[in-house]
């Protein structure tokens, strides 16, 4: 699917697809936005493991280059966890993030979508229509129950 993104006066021809980038493309994209510092991308094999273990991959490309990506895990009927949403800094605020989330939702329309927002995106999800939930709990690696 080709779409024009140009809300800030810059025209971009963005091709969206349900497809999996290479691990190197993922590392490059995450380095081009703040997500690079929030994921273990420097860890050997981490990018490939992350891709292999998730079951929804939505890409945005401009002239073949990966400019946005959403990675999620879903059971298709109950819940979808949006693990990563990344848009190249040069391409942000052109509707790419929202379009990728719409594609993730379309892959499992019946499922509740949940995520943990990065500090940089704290205001983002509310702005595009997500509801904040008070009952989110996390268990960090090393914490025990």
Ligand X SMILES: CC(C)(COP(=O)(O)OP(=O)(O)OC[C@H]1O[C@@H](n2cnc3c(N)ncnc32)[C@H](O)[C@@H]1OP(=O)(O)O)[C@@H](O)C(=O)NCCC(=O)NCCS
DSSP-H helix ranges across the chain:
23-31, 46-53, 96-107, 124-128
Asked if residue 19 binds ligand X (CB under 6 A), the reply is no
Which range of residues in 43-51, 85-93, 103-111, 134-142 is near ligand X by CB under 6 A? 85-93
Q: Does 34 bind ligand X (CB under 6 A)?
A: yes
Q: Which is nearer to ligand X, 6 or 45 (CB)?
A: 6
When asked if residue 121 is in the footprint of ligand X (CB under 6 A), the reply is: yes
Q: By CB under 6 A, is residue 26 in contact with ligand X?
A: no
Task: Give the CA-trace dihedral at 86, 91, 93, 95, to 10 degrees.
Answer: -80
Pairing assessment for the beta strands 56-62 and 112-114 based on DSSP bridges: unpaired
Question: Tokens representing 109?
Answer: 């329309």
Figure out which of the listed residues 63, 77, 123, 141 binds ligand X, where binding follows CB under 6 A.
123
- 11 CB-near residues (< 8 Å, 6+ apart): 4, 5
Contact pick of 48, 98, 102, 105 for ligand X (by CB under 6 A): 98
Q: Is residue 108 within 8 Å of residue 58, measured between CB atoms?
A: no
Query: Interface with ligand X by CB under 6 A: which residues?
Result: 7, 33-35, 85-87, 92-98, 115, 117-118, 120-121, 123-124, 127-128
């Amino acid at each position: 699917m080709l779409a024009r993104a140009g809300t800030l006066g810059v025209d971009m021809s963005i091709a969206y697809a349900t497809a999996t980038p290479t691990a190197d493309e993922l590392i490059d994209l995450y380095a081009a936005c703040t997500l690079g510092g929030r994921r273990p991308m420097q860890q050997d094999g981490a990018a490939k493991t992350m891709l292999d273990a998730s079951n929804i991959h939505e890409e945005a490309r401009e002239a073949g280059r990966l400019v946005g990506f959403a990675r999620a895990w879903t059971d298709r009927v109950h819940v979808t966890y949006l693990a990563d949403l990344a848009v190249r800094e040069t391409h942000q605020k052109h509707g790419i993030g929202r379009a990728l989330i719409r594609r993730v939702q379309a892959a499992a329309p019946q499922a509740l979508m949940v995520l943990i927002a990065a500090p940089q995106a704290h205001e983002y999800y509310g702005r595009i229509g997500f509801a904040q939930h008070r009952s989110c709990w996390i268990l960090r690696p090393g914490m025990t129950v």
